[in-house]
A and B are shown apart, each in its own frame.
Chain A
């Protein structure tokens, strides 16, 4: 493997980093699809920063860049009826669940045609039609409601599953623990995914947690708990597959910590002055898209030409979404000011 030296070095520093391997039951088509999903996520977010600088997009925008393997490896195995709970870093989750990037871009532009009709923006991106329960700007706040959708599946006796994402920072919110307890007690079909990118804005997670292995928190509640290398989409896929099967079978929740690294600033203008970014140099060598591509070529799963074509297609899709948001969409009408505050068109001024 090209990146094996890096991996060996990282493994010495921390035992979460793993080698790539092809899990049983993962076919070529599914791999190519995941690879493509990751590129759409990456290109979408790479495009947003210049738009933000140009004042086309405003507010807070938090990139999911280099965390793509987590959302992709897990969500791509869900069916449409399954739910996901998301975070302030939710663009990638929505893309993996089958969201429409035109509508997402339109929302970032604050346009009426956007997912949230210009009301929500990046932090609140949501598509209920694909089972996305809504991204919250309150760290940790989306977890309990997501366990609520698992509660619905349990009450109704369906085999729908909920996957809820939160960061290492979000993991410390009280209601996350409280809802994990109920999920375990009632064997709810929910998968807790801690995207441990090791930073909560400027706080290194080891400064504010007593136990650096966050997955162990699940164990305390009686929840089967695992740790994955957040850059290894194959391991994530395999771990999630077992968790989803268990949830569908009524065997209860799973906790998966995906250990990754935040390689960029917290949001568009954060230059990360508070941390040593050279730490990331090694990680860029094993960032998940590059790593999956290299693996597929080495294992003769795909050719370089195929992979390049997938990347090019992602660029085109994203360009089209910008074109759509910028030229074909509209500012919300001021007459619609009171829309959506109450349901069924009710206006209470």
Chain B
């Protein structure tokens, strides 16, 4: 075991998978010489050469499309979109090609691509560098969407994603990069589609993912003091989504709060609540609650930016509401 940052856990996953499989390669703006703005791919170009860590032009639509094609042709590309906001540019090749190829061609071709996209609010960098757009992809059959939040999960699940034979988008919250945690020294995998109970509890289930799991844990700690025991579930993967773990928990607590950092309208929080109602309306003692960002672009001004996203207090209030 060693204690490393989530950022380092990604580097480890990339390095290990590149060493294991010569078809794995990395592509994106400034991933090579500079090692990506967050330092994640630093040194990999030296280690693996310029054909395995490729610096691209600022041509997201094209280089992601190239990645999709390379994947169809048998490679395992790791494409990086420097900020998830710009995933709009290669949207066509992700949605219409990567997600649909296997199905349309009757299984004759796979697209084993992983698209890594740093996302989320923070740092006062305004509306085009702050989005939570994971929800758009959960709507697209044929894709997988993962959002691991601890160094352990990130390394293990990213490795699973690289070995997956279909397209996977990995959303990495920028605020999670410097979070530290224990990571085993040897090889291990975390399966895609399995949630993790981050904190056990008996009175109310809080379902969250990515950065919001940390905020939810803080809320749970505070509620503990008032005698409300919350179970915090880290979904880790949004598509597929582990409803078995969610429903097990709801069975136990009979109350649920779903948290997302995305604007609440049209977000996966509503989808999760819908599914919980379908699967176990009778298990519930109170209407499920949703917590998310305000339905607004993210402002440059730090006061307005902070106002946008859910706080510990919002989650606490939502949990309390399930007891009214």
Task: Evaluate whether A119 and B301 lie within 8 angstroms (CB atoms) in the complex, with A200-B58, A208-B56, A341-B296 already known.
Answer: yes
Q: Which one of B26-34, B100-108, B156-164, B219-227 contacts A?
A: B26-34
Residue of A whose beta carbon sits closest to that of B295 = A349
Where chain B touches its partner, the secondary structure class is loop
A149 to B143, CA, bound (A): 37
Task: Evaluate whether A118 and B299 lie within 8 angstroms (CB atoms) in the complex, with A200-B29, A202-B33, A274-B33 already known.
Answer: yes
Sorting the interface of chain B by its residue count into under 10, 10 to 19, 20 to 34 or 35 or more gives 20 to 34
Asked if A59 contacts B123 (CB within 8 A), the reply is: yes
B217 at the interface (CB under 8 A from A): no
Task: Evaluate whether A124 and B126 lie within 8 angstroms (CB atoms) in the complex, with A169-B57, A203-B29, A208-B57 already known.
Answer: yes
Residue of A whose beta carbon sits closest to that of B306 = A334
B200 at the interface (CB under 8 A from A): no
Near A by CB (< 8 A), chain B positions 92-128 give 123-128
Asked if A140 contacts B58 (CB within 8 A), the reply is: yes
Asked if B304 contacts A119 (CB within 8 A), the reply is: yes
Asked if A59 contacts B59 (CB within 8 A), the reply is: no
B277 at the interface (CB under 8 A from A): no
Chain A residues with CB below 8 A from B62, complex form: 174
A303 at the interface (CB under 8 A from B): no
A331 at the interface (CB under 8 A from B): yes
A84 to B273, CA, bound (A): 47
B219-252, CB under 8 A of A: which get 1 and which 0? 0000000000000000000000000000000000
B15 at the interface (CB under 8 A from A): no
Task: Evaluate whether A59 and B125 lie within 8 angstroms (CB atoms) in the complex, with A120-B300, A138-B85, A332-B304 already known.
Answer: yes
A319-345, CB under 8 A of B: which get 1 and which 0? 000000000000110100110010000
Chain B residues with CB below 8 A from A169, complex form: 57-58
Asked if B126 contacts A123 (CB within 8 A), the reply is: yes
Chain B residues with CB below 8 A from A203, complex form: 29-30, 33-34, 55, 57
A62 to B37, CA, bound (A): 15
Min distance, Cβ B119 to any Cβ of chain A, angstroms: 15
Asked if B33 contacts A59 (CB within 8 A), the reply is: no
Chain A residues with CB below 8 A from B37, complex form: 201
Asked if A207 contacts B301 (CB within 8 A), the reply is: no
Chain A residues with CB below 8 A from B125, complex form: 59-60, 121, 123, 137
Near B by CB (< 8 A), chain A positions 98-124 give 107, 110-111, 116, 118-121, 123-124
Asked if A337 contacts B296 (CB within 8 A), the reply is: yes
Task: Evaluate whether A172 and B59 lie within 8 angstroms (CB atoms) in the complex, with A334-B304, A337-B296 already known.
Answer: yes
Chain A residues with CB below 8 A from B30, complex form: 200-203
Chain B residues with CB below 8 A from A120, complex form: 126-127, 300
Asked if A170 contacts B296 (CB within 8 A), the reply is: no
A317 at the interface (CB under 8 A from B): no
Residue of A whose beta carbon sits closest to that of B34 = A202
Asked if B61 contacts A174 (CB within 8 A), the reply is: yes
B173 at the interface (CB under 8 A from A): no
Query: Which one, B33, B56, B128, B303, contacts A138 given CB within 8 A?
Result: B128
Interface size (A, Cβ < 8 Å)?
A: 39
Asked if B58 contacts A331 (CB within 8 A), the reply is: no
Query: Which one, B29, B128, B300, B303, contacts A136 given CB within 8 A?
Result: B128
Asked if B29 contacts A201 (CB within 8 A), the reply is: yes
A312 at the interface (CB under 8 A from B): no
Min distance, Cβ A330 to any Cβ of chain B, angstroms: 11
Chain A residues with CB below 8 A from B302, complex form: 58, 110
Near A by CB (< 8 A), chain B positions 32-70 give 33-34, 37, 55-59, 61-62
A61 to B37, CA, bound (A): 15
A47 at the interface (CB under 8 A from B): no
Chain B residues with CB below 8 A from A118, complex form: 299-301, 304
A139 at the interface (CB under 8 A from B): yes
B307 at the interface (CB under 8 A from A): yes
A334 to B37, CA, bound (A): 32
B294 at the interface (CB under 8 A from A): yes
A58 to B130, CA, bound (A): 14
B167-196, CB under 8 A of A: which get 1 and which 0? 000000000000000000000000000000
Chain A residues with CB below 8 A from B311, complex form: none
Task: Evaluate whether A124 and B34 lie within 8 angstroms (CB atoms) in the complex, with A110-B124, A169-B57, A174-B61 already known.
Answer: no
B141 at the interface (CB under 8 A from A): no
Task: Evaluate whether A201 and B34 lie within 8 angstroms (CB atoms) in the complex, with A120-B126, A124-B126, A138-B128 already known.
Answer: yes
Chain B residues with CB below 8 A from A107, complex form: 300
Min distance, Cβ A283 to any Cβ of chain B, angstroms: 22
B129 at the interface (CB under 8 A from A): yes
Query: Which one, B29, B89, B126, contacts A119 given CB within 8 A?
Result: B126
Chain A CB within 10 A, most for which of B33, B58, B85, B299? B58
B214 at the interface (CB under 8 A from A): no
A59 to B85, CA, bound (A): 16
Chain B residues with CB below 8 A from A138, complex form: 85-86, 89, 128
Asked if A121 contacts B124 (CB within 8 A), the reply is: yes
A54 at the interface (CB under 8 A from B): no
Asked if A116 contacts B300 (CB within 8 A), the reply is: yes
Query: Which one, A58, A119, A207, A337, contacts B55 given CB within 8 A?
Result: A207
A4 at the interface (CB under 8 A from B): no
What are 25 inter-chain pairs, A to B, with CB distance below 8 A? A58-B123, A60-B125, A111-B301, A118-B301, A119-B126, A119-B297, A123-B126, A124-B127, A137-B129, A140-B58, A173-B89, A200-B58, A201-B30, A201-B34, A201-B37, A203-B55, A208-B55, A208-B56, A208-B57, A274-B34, A334-B304, A337-B308, A341-B295, A341-B296, A349-B295
6 closest A-B pairs by beta carbon, nearest first, are: A121-B300, A118-B301, A202-B34, A172-B57, A137-B128, A110-B301
